[in-house]
Amino acid sequence: MLASSTERAALLALIVALSVGSGAAFAPTSFSVRSSSLATLSATVDPTVVTKKEYQDICGVEFNDSTLADRLARTAYLYPKHVEVIDDFAPLVDRMVDEILLETGEKSWQPQDYLPDLSQSNWLEQTKELREAAAGVPDDLFVVLIGDMVTEEALPTYQTLLNTFEGCDDPIGTTNSAWARWSRGWTSEENRHGDLLNKYLYLSGKTDMRAIEVTIQHLITSGFNPGARKDPYRGFLYTSFQERATKISHGNVGKLAKAHGAVDLQRICAKIAGDEGRHEKAYQAFCTEILKRDPDGLLAEFGDLMRGQIVMPAELMTDGRDPHLYENFSAVAQRLGVYTALDYADIIEHLVNHWKIGELTGLSSEGEKEQNYICRLPDRYRKLAERSMNKKKDEEVVTQSFSWIFNRKA
Q: Do the Cβ atoms of 127 and 203 come closer than 8 Å?
A: yes
Is 190 marked as binding a ligand?
Answer: yes
Q: What are phi and psi of 33, to 5 degrees?
A: -135, 140
Is 276 marked as binding a ligand?
Answer: yes
* Secondary structure letter of residue 107 according to DSSP: G
Distance, CA of 52 to CA of 395 (rounded, Å):
71
Distance, CA of 269 to CA of 252 (rounded, Å):
8
Is 193 marked as binding a ligand?
Answer: yes
Distance, CA of 359 to CA of 77 (rounded, Å):
31
Distance, CA of 12 to CA of 10 (rounded, Å):
5
Is 152 marked as binding a ligand?
Answer: yes
Three-class DSSP category at 318: coil
Classify 193 in phi/psi space as left (phi over 0), alpha (psi -120 to 50) or beta.
alpha
Is 243 marked as binding a ligand?
Answer: yes
Q: Do the Cβ atoms of 265 and 332 come closer than 8 Å?
A: no
Quick one: which of 245, 269, 242 has its CA closest to 255? 269
List, by residue number, the catalytic residues. Answer: 109, 152, 190, 193, 243, 246, 275-276, 279
Sorted by sequence, the CB contacts under 8 Å of residue 397 that are 6+ apart come out as 335
User: Cα angle at 256 between 150 and 345, to 5 degrees?
Assistant: 70
* Secondary structure letter of residue 297 according to DSSP: H
Q: Do the Cβ atoms of 240 and 284 come closer than 8 Å?
A: yes
Residues placed in the known binding site for Fe cation: 152, 190, 193, 243, 276, 279
Residues placed in the known binding site: 152, 190, 193, 243, 276, 279
